[in-house]
């Protein structure tokens, strides 16, 4: 293995009381792809800033290989002192870097370079900051939440760009799919420690759960041993006669270890206050259209949403997602078309614009509305401290002004406010922004148990796949189409990602001044593909590979079913767990590939 070009050793940092980082380690070798994961507030961004040389730790060392270049993407870039976006990007280049690449990246990101930094949207700020750190092609890229405020088209472009670069990557992101596609190693920040594993994020969660299970088992053993030693101390003959000093000292040491043990942080308790059932038909829209000036945002859109549906709305920034949702919920009048809302609808809305919260308001007042110390949850009072704990806030934070909360804490606060209101229709605009992965898990479970209807705008592909049962996407020139299933199902039906379809629409519009069609049913047939030699070979070999993987999964599952394996042979247990996760992942990819090729074969033979 190549020697590291960046090494953090024994990093310690304390802000006030409990240490944020204690003996943390991070090493980055050339071309390495590492993701940095952990709960909100665990110190991920702080460790990345130390790696970038922006923060000096209380203890530990930072080593950078002489001549190595590092670029750091902050969550909130500072544009002060720059007249245009191009000036900001060019300022990040080194003496030998090519300015043409900076201009090319800005163009690929949909920017001109003349944008005024004082008047940027969140998405524009993020794209400009990305162009600044990508343009030099440094030895190491340190990226803190690079997908925040980006639409799906840009996220997929960014994935491809990073995959093709020679730079080593250290990534912080709440986007599971993004991390799984790019990472090859994982550093888990947990209770001030950094634990490293040479696995990508796709296998991290199984590894983390095993580590926590082992830790819980060890604590249980420690408790039993302390109990046994205390019994000896009170009732043992030798204990009464001579009080064995060495054994007594060992007991005191165990008690000290038990007192200093910091258990794993609990999960949020997220629950939506549910109202009475709505009518079976929640929304019926026919022929909705909306234009602003000469720009048509929605053209002749129809949909029927039934009780219990989970509708995901995706598309590039500026395509009209929020406009469509506000029309569907009756907030915005359409130019043409009819909208019928069902009976007994009670709606709760989560707005992505958290800036609307007064930064000087305290956390307690934001939840209670400044009225006393109780929160009304579904019409029932609950003490604000108890409700704060449900969303992982400590009692000490009750009087904390919102301006000092982290992005993840603001996200949990916004959820807490929205879900306190009784509802049978949830409208969620980017609910996953800044949430840690554990809180995302709990949010997904809550939405799965929610008895009402959900309309969700999101750029998180994994979240969409787990939550929604239909996806609505823009097809160009104001036309929108609905696809059954999650985000991956939509891509399979369209046979193109959002980037490709957007490019096709632009080319078609440039050729004849009008869009191709509003939906797959009305699209002009694409040129027929042919089965390549590799396609034919895969069709012949994939069924056998799928069968082999199923046999492997069955054998590994049987092995792990042995309740004594964990205590008898921990390395074998870990090896089997990792192999099982890898086999499941490979099986899913093989089955998906085989299905795509079978559909293609039928099209070719039928054509």
Q: Based on the domain organization, do 478 and 578 belong to the same domain?
A: no
Q: Which residue has the higher pLDDT, 389 or 127?
A: 127
Domain boundary residue, one of 206, 236, 268: 206
Confidence of residue 512 (pLDDT cuts 50, 70, 90): very low
Count CB-CB contacts under 10 A for residue 273: 17
Task: Please check the confidence at residue 354 and state whether its pLDDT lies above 80.
Answer: no
Residues 484 and 539 in one domain: no
Helices (H) and strands (E) in the chain, counts: 20, 20
**In-domain check, residue 250:** no
The pLDDT value given to residue 513: 35
Angle at 42 between CA 573 and CA 64, to 5 degrees: 90
In the chain, % of residues over pLDDT 90: 36
- Contact yes or no for 585/202 (Cβ under 8 A): yes
Is 337:286 a contact under the CB 8 Å cutoff? yes
Query: Among candidates 401, 369, 405, 403, which has minimal Cα distance to 387?
Result: 369
Give CA–CA dist 215/263, Å, rounded: 9
- pLDDT of 260: 57
Q: Which pLDDT score, from 0 to 100, does residue 290 have?
A: 92
Average pLDDT over residues 551-569: 79
Among 387-391, 520-524, 535-539, top mean pLDDT goes to 387-391
Q: Average pLDDT, stretch 133-146?
A: 95
Who wins on pLDDT, 322 or 595?
Answer: 322
| CA distance readout (Å), 220 to 171, 225, 247, 561, 574 | 35, 9, 20, 22, 20
- The larger pLDDT score, comparing residue 250 to residue 286, is at 286
Q: Which strand (E) or helix (H) includes residue 256?
A: helix 245-260
Mean pLDDT of 332-353: 86
pLDDT score at 48: 95
Are 512 and 577 contained in the same domain? no
* 102-113 pLDDT tens trace: 999 999 998 999
Write down the H helix ranges in 27-149.
44-52, 85-90, 99-108, 122-134
Measured distance CA(25)–CA(340) in Å, rounded:
58
Residue 242 lies in a domain: no
The answer to whether residues 518 and 537 belong to one domain is: no
441 and 308 in a single domain? The answer is yes
pLDDT reported for residue 583: 79
Residue 117 maps to a domain = yes
Q: Do residues 38 and 439 make contact, with C-beta atoms less than 8 angstroms apart? A: no
Distance CA 396, CA 216 (A): 27
Q: What is the mean pLDDT of residues 369-395?
A: 80
| Pair (516, 537) in one structural domain | no
The neighbouring-strand residues paired with 173 are none
Residue 60's region, left for phi above 0, alpha for psi from -120 to 50, else beta, is left
pLDDT digits (tens, 9 = 90+) for 460-505: 999 999 899 999 999 888 999 999 999 988 988 887 666 554 444 4
Report the CATH number that the domain containing residue 125 is assigned in CATH: 3.40.50.300
SS3 of 90, please?
A: helix
Whether residue 53 is contained in a domain is answered as yes
Q: Are 514 and 553 in the same domain?
A: no
| Residue where the block lists tokens 């992965």 | 437
pLDDT for the residue numbered 220: 67
Among 132-146, 186-200, 387-401, the minimum mean pLDDT is found in: 387-401
**Same domain for 20 and 140?**
yes
Neighbours of 75 (CB within 10 A): 17
CATH code, domain with 582? 1.10.287.380
List phi, psi (to 5°) of 412: -65, -35
Write the DSSP assignment of 493-510 as a string of letters: HHTS-HHHHHHHHHHHHH
pLDDT above 60 (res 241)? no
State residue 519's pLDDT score: 36
pLDDT, one tens digit per residue, over 513-532 is: 333 333 333 333 334 446 66
Instruction: Say whether 483 sits in a helix, a strand or coil.
Output: strand
pLDDT confidence bin for 600, thresholds 50/70/90: confident
Strand 347-350's sheet: what is its strand order? 347-350, 425-429, 453-457, 310-313, 470-476, 479-484
Average pLDDT, rounded, for the chain? 81
DSSP three-state, residue 413:
helix
- Gap between the terminal Cα atoms of the chain: 52
Residues 6+ apart with CB under 8 A from 18: 192, 262
Averaged pLDDT, 536-554: 82
Asked if residue 244 is part of any domain, the answer here is no
Query: What whole-number distance in Å separates Cα of residue 154 and Cα of residue 160?
Result: 10
CA dist 202 and 184 (Å) reads 9
Q: Are residues 65 and 143 in the same domain?
A: yes
> Do 473 and 498 share a domain, yes or no?
yes
CA atoms within 13 A on the CB side of 424: 19
* Same domain? 69 vs 39: yes
Tell whether the model's pLDDT for residue 55 goes beyond 70: yes
**288 DSSP β-pair partners:** 301
Single out the residue in 167, 184, 206 at which a domain terminates: 206
Phi, psi torsion values for 278, nearest 5 degrees = -80, 180
Q: CA–CA separation, 482 vs 494, rounded Å?
A: 11
Q: Does residue 87 sit within a domain?
A: yes
Cβ–Cβ < 8 Å for 341, 330: yes
**Phi, psi angles (nearest 5°) of residue 453:** -110, 145
Count of domains in the chain?
3
Confidence of residue 8 (pLDDT cuts 50, 70, 90): very high
pTM: 0.69
- Residue 214 banded pLDDT, cuts 50, 70, 90: confident
Q: Which of 213-222, 355-364, 380-389, 574-583 has the lowest mean pLDDT?
A: 213-222
Q: Round to whole Å and give the CA distance between 386 and 446.
A: 18
How far is the C-alpha of 106 from the C-alpha of 157, rounded, in Å?
A: 13
* 444 HSE (CA, 13 A, CB side): 16
C-alpha Rg value of the chain to the nearest Å: 27
Judge whether residue 402 has pLDDT over 90.
no
Percent of the chain past pLDDT 70, that is, above it, reads 81
470 and 573 together in one domain: no
Is 127 a domain residue?
yes
Look at residues 276, 277, 286 and name the one whose alpha carbon lies nearest to residue 328: 286
Q: Look at residue 299 and give its three-state secondary structure.
A: strand
* Measured distance CA(209)–CA(227) in Å, rounded: 27
> Residue 194's Cα: distance from chain center in Å?
20
Of 361, 435, 424, residue with least CA distance to 398: 361
Which of 60-74, 415-429, 527-541 bottoms out in mean pLDDT, i.e. has the lowest? 527-541
Contact in structure between 38 and 24 (CB atoms under 8 Å): no
Beta-carbon contacts of 546 under 8 Å, excluding residues fewer than 6 positions away, are 587, 590, 591, 594
Residue 119 has pLDDT above 60, yes or no: yes
Task: Answer whether residue 273 is part of any domain.
Answer: no
Structure tokens at 251: 């007991």
Domain end position, chosen among 149, 178, 206:
206
pLDDT digits (tens, 9 = 90+) for 253-278: 666 666 655 555 555 566 676 677 88
Range of the domain at 194: 6-206
């Amino acid at each position: 293995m190549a020697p590291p070009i960046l090494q953090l050793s024994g990093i310690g940092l304390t802000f006030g009381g409990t240490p944020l980082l204690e003996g943390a380690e991070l090493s980055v070798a050339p071309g390495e792809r590492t993701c940095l994961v952990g709960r909100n507030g665990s110190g991920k961004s702080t460790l990345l800033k130390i790696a970038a040389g922006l923060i000096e730790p209380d203890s530990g060392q930072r080593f950078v290989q002489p001549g190595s270049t590092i670029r750091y993407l902050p969550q909130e870039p500072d544009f002060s002192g720059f007249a245009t976006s191009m000036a900001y990007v060019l300022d990040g280049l080194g003496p030998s870097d090519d300015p043409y690449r900076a201009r090319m990246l800005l163009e690929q990101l949909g920017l001109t370079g003349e944008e005024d930094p004082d008047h940027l949207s969140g998405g524009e700020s993020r794209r400009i900051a990305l162009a600044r750190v990508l343009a030099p092609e440094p030895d190491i890229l340190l990226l803190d939440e690079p997908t925040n405020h980006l639409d799906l088209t840009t996220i997929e472009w960014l994935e491809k760009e990073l995959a093709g670069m020679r730079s080593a990557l250290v990534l912080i992101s709440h986007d599971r799919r993004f991390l799984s596609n790019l990472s090859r190693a994982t550093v888990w920040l947990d209770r001030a420690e950094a634990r490293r594993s040479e696995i990508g994020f796709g296998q991290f969660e199984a590894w983390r759960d095993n580590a926590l299970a082992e830790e819980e088992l060890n604590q249980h053993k420690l408790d039993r041993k302390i109990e046994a030693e205390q019994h000896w101390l009170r009732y043992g003959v030798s204990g009464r006669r001579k009080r064995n000093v060495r054994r007594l000292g060992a007991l005191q040491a165990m008690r000290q270890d038990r007192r200093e043990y910091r258990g794993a942080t609990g999960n949020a308790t997220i629950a939506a206050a549910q109202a009475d059932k709505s009518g079976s038909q929640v929304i019926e829209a026919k022929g909705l259209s909306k234009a602003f000036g000469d720009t048509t945002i929605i053209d002749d859109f129809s949909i029927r949403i039934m009780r219990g549906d989970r509708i995901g709305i995706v598309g590039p920034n500026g395509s009209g997602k929020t406009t469509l949702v506000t029309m569907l919920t009756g907030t915005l009048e359409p130019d043409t078309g009819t909208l019928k809302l069902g009976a007994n609808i009670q709606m709760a809305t989560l707005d992505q614009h958290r800036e609307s919260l007064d930064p000087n308001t305290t956390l307690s007042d934001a939840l209670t509305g400044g009225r006393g110390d109780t929160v009304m949850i579904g019409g029932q009072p609950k003490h604000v401290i108890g409700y704060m704990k449900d969303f992982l806030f400590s009692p000490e934070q009750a009087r904390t002004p919102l301006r000092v909360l982290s992005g993840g804490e603001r996200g949990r606060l916004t959820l807490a406010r929205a879900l306190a209101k009784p509802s049978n229709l949830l409208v969620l605009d980017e609910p996953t922004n800044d949430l840690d992965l554990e809180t995302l898990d709990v949010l997904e479970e809550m939405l799965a148990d929610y008895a009402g209807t959900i309309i969700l705008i999101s750029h998180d592909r994994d979240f969409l796949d787990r939550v929604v049962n239909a996806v609505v996407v823009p097809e160009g020139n104001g036309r929108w189409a609905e696809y059954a299933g999650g985000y991956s199902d939509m891509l399979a039906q369209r046979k193109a990602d959002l980037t490709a379809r957007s490019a096709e629409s632009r080319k078609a519009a440039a050729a004849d001044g009008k869009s191709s069609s509003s939906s797959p049913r009305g699209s002009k047939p694409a040129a027929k593909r042919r089965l390549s030699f590799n396609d034919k070979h895969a069709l012949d070999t994939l069924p056998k590979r799928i069968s082999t993987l199923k046999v492997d999964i069955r054998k590994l599952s049987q092995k792990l079913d042995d309740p004594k394996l964990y205590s008898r042979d921990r390395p074998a247990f870990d090896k089997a767990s990792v192999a099982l996760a890898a086999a499941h992942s490979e099986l899913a990819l093989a089955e998906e590939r085989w299905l795509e090729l079978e559909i293609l074969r039928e099209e070719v033979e039928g054509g």
